[in-house]
Chains A and B, each alone.
Chain A
Amino acid sequence: MAEQVGIVGVPPLEVIATLNREGARIFDLDEPQPQVRVPIEQSAAWVPRVYCAILRTVVLNAMLLELDRIFIDVGPGKCDAALNIAEVLDDMLAIPIHRTHNQDRIAYGFPLCTSAMPMVEKFTLISKSVQKAIPHQPREPCIPLCGFWGVPPRDFALLHLFPEQTHVFGWTRCMENKTPADLELERQFDPSLPTVFFTQTFCAKSALAHHLGRRHPQALVIDCDVSPSNSARAKIEAFLELSGVPSSAGALL
């Protein structure tokens, strides 16, 4: 039976390549897993409720999936909070918790980030690409209508608000490029595109989002916790509409 391995953040490519060679089944613990059907509140036994929803999801997944080991990136390519969560996982589970410091610098490119594709599908493919140590398929870049800067949201429902021709920036672009610690790439944006700067609530990256949002001429800075609130959805909808961006359905709202 294949070894079941959890990953948190983007472990170094060498780790992923080894897991691929060994035929391990990889679970991205940052994302809600379909077989984990319990409320996120159950993670409160190990991690505070007022905490990054992605890391609460990591803990919840780790509690309920039967994993053989976990690779958690705790370097500059993830966040300080992951360093602390690694301690929690160590205490919680009787399996090896491998801490990695991904400093990979070989750029694999980000064709998905600049392609025309429904945003949920785009982010799903980007997240999946982390689990493979192979080059990306080339894709034709689209002419963008707007930008999304940030990490993949904990709840992809947020992404339905964006049109297919949304260019993706920030850490998501670093993920696809397989260089999660590349701050130079992470802070890039296109000033000609109306851009939503997104972070998870309680995430340290909100400082960078606010900083870049102030420098961008047409930006909306927004944070969401577990799922997007009605007001968060309305802000994004109105921002895109008033910036002249067609809705994801293809027509002006």
Chain B
Amino acid sequence: MLLADFGTTYCKLFDTQRDTRARVVASRALEPGFQADLATGHNAARRSKRAVNELSALARGGRRLISADSFVLLDCGSRDLKFVRFAQGRVADMGWNAECGASMGFTIELLATYYQLDYAAMAVPQNGFSITCGVLGMSHIFDAVVQGSSEEEAVARFVRGIALNAHRFAGAPEEVYLSGGLCNNPLFVACLPCTVHLLGRFVLLEGLLDLLGHEKGHIQL
């Protein structure tokens, strides 16, 4: 059975019969008629036989991967933010910010390409911009550069602002489990003002496996 997490910019695939490791494919590289059996994500409804709610997949995946009874799981993807908070094993709160957190991961990736930056080599800035949205936040970068900041410093402050916003959105927890593509961005992770446990970008696929009743450990994260 082919499982998919159809993200806005990247698609994560896992074939339950053939794969031991999930694959990441650029969404724009998928054939127009590409179909999964069971999927989640923005394009799941049109690209799969059965679509699963993203928050539900996230929560199920988190419950499989995290041994604690009470935790906050924050998913930072290219287009939106999602979080689920469990308390004593039950879902206590959740949120999905598709509007005000718009395109933050995508914008962070675009900025690195445009300014030719390596996030692994960038220092955490002392202050971040006060921003909630990737698109609107870009004007802060341009303003800071005009005022004499280096491009690298301005982008770092942008990333810090995005990280602080994501942390607030999740209820400002002292400890957070992070999933999604931004797990791979060391600067973003370092800018989160709390203890961070990285789960990688296949948590929603784990949620789909949970829905199918598969045992844990199918996907090598």
Decide whether A and B are members of one complex: yes
On A, residues with C-beta under 8 Å from B are: 217-218, 220, 229-231, 234-235, 237-239, 241-243, 253
Starting from the known contacts A230-B98, A238-B54, A242-B94, 7 additional A-B residue pairs (CB-CB under 8 Å) come to: A231-B99, A234-B54, A234-B96, A235-B96, A238-B53, A238-B59, A242-B60
Q: Which of B84, B91, B96, B98 contacts A243 (CB 8 A)?
A: B91
Residues on B lying within 8 angstroms of A by beta carbon are 52-56, 59-60, 80, 84, 90-99
22 A-B contacts, Cβ less than 8 Å apart?
A218-B92, A220-B93, A231-B96, A231-B97, A231-B98, A234-B54, A234-B96, A235-B55, A235-B94, A235-B96, A237-B55, A237-B56, A238-B53, A238-B56, A238-B59, A239-B94, A241-B56, A242-B60, A242-B84, A242-B91, A253-B52, A253-B53
Q: Are A229 and B94 in contact (CB under 8 A)?
A: no
Chain A: interface secondary structure?
helix
The chain A residue with its CB closest to the CB of B55 is: A238
CA distance A218 to B94 in the complex (A): 11
A218 in contact with B90 (CB, 8 Å): yes
Q: Given contacts A218-B90, A239-B94, is CB(A234)–CB(B99) below 8 Å?
A: no
Report which of B53, B54, B95, B98 forms a contact with A229, defined as CB distance below 8 A. B98
Given the known A-B contacts A229-B98, A229-B99, are A234 and B91 also in contact in the complex, defined by CB atoms under 8 Å?
no
Q: How far is the CB of A221 from chain B (nearest CB, A)?
A: 9
Quote the shortest CB–CB distance from B213 to chain A (angstroms). 13
User: Which of A234, A238, A241 gathers the greatest number of chain B CB atoms within 10 Å?
Assistant: A238
For residue A217, which residues in chain B have a CB less than 8 angstroms away from its CB? 92
Q: Given A218-B90, A218-B92, verify A234-B53 contact (CB < 8 Å).
A: yes
Residues of B within 8 A of A253 (CB): 52-53, 56
Complex Cα distance, B86 from A218, in Å, reads 11
Q: Which of B53, B60, B91 contacts A237 (CB 8 A)?
A: B53
CB distance from A193 to the nearest CB of B (A): 13
Please determine whether A238 and B94 come into contact, CB atoms closer than 8 angstroms.
Answer: yes
Q: Contacts of A229 on B, CB cut-off 8 Å?
A: 98-99
A139 CB, min distance to chain B CBs, angstroms: 31
Instruction: Give Cα A172–Cα B84 distance, bound, in whole angstroms.
Output: 29
A229 to B102, CA, bound (A): 14
| B59 proximity list for chain A (CB < 8 A) | 238, 242
Give, as a whole number of angstroms, the nearest-CB distance from B111 to chain A: 25
Query: Taking the nearest CB of chain B, how far is it from the CB of A163, in angstroms?
Result: 16
B80: A residues at CB distance < 8 A: 231
Q: Chain A contacts of B55 at CB under 8 A?
A: 234-235, 237-238
In the complex, what's the smallest C-beta–C-beta distance from B47 to chain A, in angstroms? Answer: 16
